[in-house]
Structure 1
Amino acid sequence: MGGFDLNSFISSVCIWAIPVIFAITIHEAAHAYAARYFGDNTAYAAGRLTLNPLKHIDPVGTILLPLLLMAVGGFLFGWAKPVPVRFGNLRNPKRDMRWVAAAGPLSNYAQAFFWLLLLKLSVSMPGSDFQIPLYKMAQAGISINLSLMVLNLLPILPLDGGRILVSLLPWKQAEAFSRTEQYGFWILLGLIASGPLLGVSLLGVIMNPLMDWVAIPLKLLL
């Protein structure tokens, strides 16, 4: 039975730290930019239209929880401080909500392609001391960004996918669905906890096929 390997843990943290910080920072900044573009300056006034990670990091959701999950080998899960958006300030609240919500996941997809370029660059550096660290970091960057994209597009409030679904539903159905937001965190927590409880991760069952599908364009470029 293997014990906790501190060196392996530190190595994993070094590899994953930069991709994770970039992924959540650009995700939240993209929400802020889209909100301002469509008429709401709330995030901009709060100083969230920035690529400064310190403005977006949540000490528990961005640092403590992911570190604990990495230490125990669990599903890497976390969150950043949500960007404040007043949808009523948008020029067309119901329509523009979907673009503000979609901006974050789309930024993660774009970042996955950026990390793919670095992955290809690392392959072209045989013998370099930077090859293996860059290759592993690029793999982590692709993985975390695809994971964040797919996770956030799940049709569960308050995730981005839930906001997009609200914007697409007729008013009556959208209002009814909006009332499920108070249960969203518990639904997500249940999907994550299903792994150790049931022996199979329901979140993985949902996300893995979707991640394989969105990864097809990247695989074609390898």
Structure 2
Amino acid sequence: MTDPAQIIQIISIWALPVLFAITLHEVAHGWTAWRLGDPTAMLMGRLSLNPLKHIDPIGTVLLPAGLVAIGSPFVFGWAKPVPVNFEGLRNPKRDSVWVALSGPAANLAMALFWTVVLWLGARLPASLAYFSEPMQLMGMAGITINLVLMVLNLIPIPPLDGGRVAVGLLPGRASYQLSRLEPYGFIILILLLFTGILGQVMGPIVLSLRHFFFALGGAPLP
């Protein structure tokens, strides 16, 4: 059992990376939709970088904190989805693919940002050595959460981003059949999680990517 002091320390390291990983993922969806013709998220004030506008009490707070508390090797969560009117896009079928891909793309960009933080943390001058370890730990946390969210969201099950990409790319009948899974998508995801299948599929991919980004940032490899 992890002691309370250690849990608080771990949460303090993970809090900022988790908040911004989830927030920027959603803002990317809304911003891309706005640029492609649908201003819904912009008009509702959901293009803000203020995490308070995007926090979901369960997906943004309780679930990630709980996973940290039980020592889970991977932490993930979700924010309140930004509203997108796909019919309002200039080319709904094509543009919905770009809107969906923008979220994982934002997570990839943030993984690169946290790689820079990790790299800088290891190279601070002696006068700033106090900040070295926290920066490196936060950099590793930021890389991990963003890679987990990127890989998770690319699974081709609606309403995950990968599912929306598949719906947008598949021909008519196949696209329609896949889109019908959307009401059951999270139930399927939970079943995959609790049966261990999700971990078996995601684990090797996330670990390989994390190994690459950690090496890029000069971190000691796990």
Quote how far apart the aligned CAs of 1:150 are.
Answer: 0.4
Find the counterpart in structure 2 of residue 209 from structure 1.
204
Code of the aligned partner of 1:193: F
TM-superposed deviation, 1:221: 3.4
CA drift of 1:126 comes to 6.1
| % identical aligned pairs | 52
- In structure 2, what is the equivalent of residue 198 of structure 1? none
**TM-score, normalised with respect to structure 1:** 0.91
1:36 is aligned to 2:31 = no
Which residue identity is paired with 1:182?
A: P
2:14 aligned partner: 16
CA deviation after TM superposition for structure 1 residue 187, in Å: 1.1
Q: Which residue of 2 aligns with 1:103?
A: 102
Q: What letter is aligned with 1:95?
A: R
Aligned counterparts of 1:31 and 1:22: Cα–Cα separation in 2? 14
Shift of 1:212: 4.4
TM-score by length of 2: 0.91
Tell me by how many angstroms 1:73 deviates. 2.5
What does 1:72-91 correspond to in 2, within 5 Å? 72-74=70-72, 75-91=74-90
Match in the other structure for 1:138: 139
Tell me how far 1:192 sits from its aligned partner: 1.6
- Specify the alignment match of 2:220 in structure 1: none
Describe the SS at the equivalent of 1:99: helix
Residues 102-132 of structure 1, C-alpha deviations (whole Å, 9 max, x = no match): 0010000000001001111011126500011
Which deviations, in whole Å up to 9, do the C-alpha atoms of 1:165-216 show, x marking residues without a partner? 000000111111111112211111112212xxxxxx3212111232245457
C-alpha RMSD over aligned residues: 1.6
Kindly provide the amino acid, as one letter, of the partner of residue 73 in structure 1: G
What is the CA distance between 1:77 and its match in structure 2? 3.1
Deviation at 1:19? 0.4
- Farther off after superposition, 87-96 or 205-214: 205-214
2:20 is matched by which residue type in structure 1? F
Amino acid at match of 1:105: P
Counterpart of 1:197 in structure 2 is none
| Structure 2 match to 1:193 | 194
Matches of 1:77 and 1:129 in 2, distance apart?
A: 29
Residue 114 (structure 1) aligns with: 113
Structure 2 gaps, min length 5: 218-222
Matches within 5 A, 1:44-63: 44-63=42-61
Question: What stretches of structure 1 of length at least 5 have no aligned partner?
Answer: 195-200
